[in-house]
């Protein structure tokens, strides 16, 4: 109870910290605020226009006032206006987020479907050849950056096998599910591989630890089979670190895959952030970055609550 409450209370506190961090970071960008906000287009402004804009955006006020106005706007769903897109930031996010979410979900499905069984399997055959093979693959998977894997995958498919990955216009899931999947599967594999490797390693380690616990010995003393002991007694305990890791990785994937989206020409959140930074569209940077951090914190809040549901020690605030 107290744990759940504490986690719920911490969410707005950290979110507030995130908003201050983003606000200050944007204002530390060199150059005056109008230039920062309008980017290269600010060069076309007359001094009078510049002054009225300064007053309009409240930039003649001090930072505290500006922050307050920004924050109250945020709470009403007003993330500001993107100059490069000529659209509200919230509109851009609504357009781009579904792709990022789909990619993140696909990657996590790949990671959990491969990683969890592989990790549990390896733990039950520790130090045998099958364990060694799993560990070698996990180690290589963990050491391959997603953008390197993406480039190698494209190279192997296009140059070696002559299959050209569909890299043309992006097809949304709602228009053509199969065409969409064909576009998404390679980026999802690129992102999911290291994720799967991490899940494999952590589930193996957790399972190994737990198989040495006293309560597993108790379960065996009751006459239960290896299969029952693993699934009923060990796995619920081993899942706790796996869920934590998956939450963190998934939360980060919701922030968009900056490089992979760029390589596969996918219009996700990662692309938006990169373009916005390169074009100095700071209202957009500010809004999207805040949205990304919000998602991350939300996912991890849910993970912590799942934790509490899974482990009564946490639920009742045992030390």
Partner 1 sequence: MTLLSVRDLRVGFGREGHETEVVHGVDFDVTAGETLAIVGESGSGKSVTAMAINRLIDFGGGRILGGRATFDRKIDLATASEGQMQRLRGREIGMIFQEPMTSLNPVLKVGTQIGEVFRKQHGLSGRAVRDASIRALDRVRIPDAARRLDQAPHQMSGGMLQRVMIAIALAGEPRLLIADEPTTALDVTIQAQIMGLLAELKRDTGTGLIFITHDIGLVAGLADRIMVMRGGEAVENGAADQVLDRPAHDYTRHLLGAVPHFRAGQAARTDGARTGQVPALDVRGLSVRFPVGGGFLRKTRGVVHAVDGVSFDLVPGETLGIVGESGSGKSTTARAILDLVRPSAGRIETGGTAAVQMVFQNPNASLNPRMTVRGLLAEPVIAAGQNVDADVLERMRTLLGRVDLPDDLDRFPHEFSGGQRQRLCIARALMLNPKVLVLDEAVSALDVSVQAKVLDLLVDLQREFGLAYLFVSHDMAVVERIAHRIAVLYAGRIVEVGAARDVLSSPRHPYTQKLISAIPSIDRRRIDYTLDTEEVPSLLRPVGFVPPDQTWQEVGPDHRVAKEPLS
Partner 2 sequence: MAVLRALLRHTSGQIGVVVIAVFAVAAVLGLLGLTPHDPLAQDRLARLQGPGATYWMGTDLFGRDILSRLMVGIGQSFAVALLSVGLAAGAGTVLGLTAAWFGKLWDGAVMRAMDVLLAFPAILLALLIVAILGPGLVTSVVAIAIVYTPIFTRVVRGPALSLKTRSFVDAARTFGSSRRYILIRHLLTNLVAPLTVQITLALAWALLTEAALSFLGLGTQPPSPSLGLMLSDSRNLMETAPWMLIFPALVIMLSVLGFNLLGDALRDVFDPRTRRALA
Which positions lie near partner 2, rule CB under 8 A? 10, 13-14, 17-18, 21-22, 25, 28-30, 139-140, 142-145, 147-148, 151-152, 154-155, 158-159, 252, 255-256, 258-259, 262-263, 273-274, 277, 280, 285, 289, 292-293, 296-297
Integer Cα distance of 6 and 168 in angstroms = 48
Nearest one of 77, 78, 65 to 27, comparing CA atoms? 65
Q: Report, in Å, the least distance between residue 278 CB and partner 1.
A: 42
User: Could you say which residues in the range 7-66 bind partner 1, by CB under 8 A?
Assistant: 9
Integer Cα distance of 283 and 91 in angstroms = 13
Q: Report, in Å, the least distance between residue 219 CB and partner 2.
A: 22
Residue 278 or 318 having the CB closest to partner 1: 318
Decide if residue 1 touches partner 1 (CB under 8 A).
Answer: no
The partner in contact with residue 144, picked from partner 1, partner 2, none with C-beta cut-offs of 5 to 8 angstroms by kind, is partner 2
The binding track of 185-224 with respect to partner 1, each residue x by CB under 8 A or -, is: --------------------------x-xxx-xxxxxxxx
Q: Is residue 190 a contact partner of residue 303, using CB atoms and an 8 Å limit?
A: no
The partner in contact with residue 219, picked from partner 1, partner 2, none with C-beta cut-offs of 5 to 8 angstroms by kind, is partner 1
Q: Report, in Å, the least distance between residue 297 CB and partner 1.
A: 18
Integer Cα distance of 251 and 144 in angstroms = 20
User: Could you say which residues in the range 233-252 bind partner 1, by CB under 8 A?
Assistant: 233, 236-237
Q: Report, in Å, the least distance between residue 39 CB and partner 1.
A: 42
Concatenating the DSSP letter of every residue in 144-185 gives S-HHHHHHHHHIIIIIIS-PPP--SS---TTT-HHHHHHHHH
Q: Report, in Å, the least distance between residue 138 CB and partner 1.
A: 24
Residue 21 or 316 having the CB closest to partner 1: 316
Q: Report, in Å, the least distance between residue 106 CB and partner 2.
A: 17
Integer Cα distance of 254 and 97 in angstroms = 8
Interface residue with partner 1, options 2, 46, 62, 174 (CB under 8 A): 2
Integer Cα distance of 40 and 83 in angstroms = 10
Q: Report, in Å, the least distance between residue 25 CB and partner 2.
A: 6
Integer Cα distance of 103 and 256 in angstroms = 8
What's the N-to-C CA distance of the chain in angstroms? Answer: 13
Q: Report, in Å, the least distance between residue 135 CB and partner 1.
A: 19
User: Could you say which residues in the range 276-315 bind partner 1, by CB under 8 A?
Assistant: 310-313
The partner in contact with residue 223, picked from partner 2, partner 1, none with C-beta cut-offs of 5 to 8 angstroms by kind, is partner 1
Nearest one of 275, 285, 292 to 37, comparing CA atoms? 285
Helical spans, DSSP H, in the chain? 2-28, 33-38, 47-56, 63-75, 89-124, 129-143, 146-154, 177-211, 214-221, 226-228, 235-253, 258-263, 269-278, 282-310, 312-315
The partner in contact with residue 247, picked from partner 1, partner 2, none with C-beta cut-offs of 5 to 8 angstroms by kind, is none
Integer Cα distance of 80 and 70 in angstroms = 8
Which residues contact partner 1 (rule: CB under 8 A)? 2, 6, 9, 211, 213-215, 217-225, 232-233, 236-237, 310-313, 316, 318
């Amino acid at each position: 109870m107290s744990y759940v409450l504490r986690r719920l209370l911490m969410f707005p506190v950290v979110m507030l910290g995130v908003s201050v961090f983003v606000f200050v970071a944007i204002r530390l960008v060199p150059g005056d605020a109008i230039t920062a906000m309008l980017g290269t287009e600010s060069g076309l402004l007359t001094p009078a226009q510049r002054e009225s804009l300064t007053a309009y955006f409240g930039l003649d006020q001090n930072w505290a006032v500006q922050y307050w106005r920004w924050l109250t706007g945020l709470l009403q769903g007003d993330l500001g206006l993107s100059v490069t897109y000529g659209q509200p930031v919230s509109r851009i996010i609504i357009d781009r987020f579904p792709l990022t979410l789909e990619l993140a979900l696909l990657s996590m499905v790949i990671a959990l479907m491969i990683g969890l069984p592989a990790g549990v399997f390896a733990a039950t055959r520790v130090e045998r050849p099958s364990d060694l093979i799993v560990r070698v693959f996990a180690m290589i998977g963990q050491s391959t950056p997603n953008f390197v894997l993406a480039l190698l995958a494209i190279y192997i498919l296009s140059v070696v096998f002559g299959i050209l990955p569909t890299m043309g216009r992006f097809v949304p899931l709602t228009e053509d599910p199969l065409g969409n999947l064909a576009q998404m599967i390679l980026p999802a594999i690129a992102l999911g591989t290291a994720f799967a490797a991490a899940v494999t390693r952590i589930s193996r380690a957790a399972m190994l630890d737990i198989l040495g616990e006293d309560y597993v010995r108790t379960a065996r003393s009751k006459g239960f089979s290896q299969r029952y002991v693993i699934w009923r007694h060990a796995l619920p305990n081993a899942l706790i670190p796996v869920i934590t890791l998956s939450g963190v990785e998934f939360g980060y994937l919701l922030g968009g895959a900056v490089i992979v989206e760029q390589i596969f020409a996918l219009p996700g959140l990662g692309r938006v952030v990169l373009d916005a930074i390169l074009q100095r569209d700071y209202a957009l940077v500010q809004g999207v970055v805040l949205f990304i951090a919000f998602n991350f914190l939300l996912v991890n809040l849910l993970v912590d609550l799942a934790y509490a549901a899974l482990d009564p020690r946490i639920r009742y605030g045992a030390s």
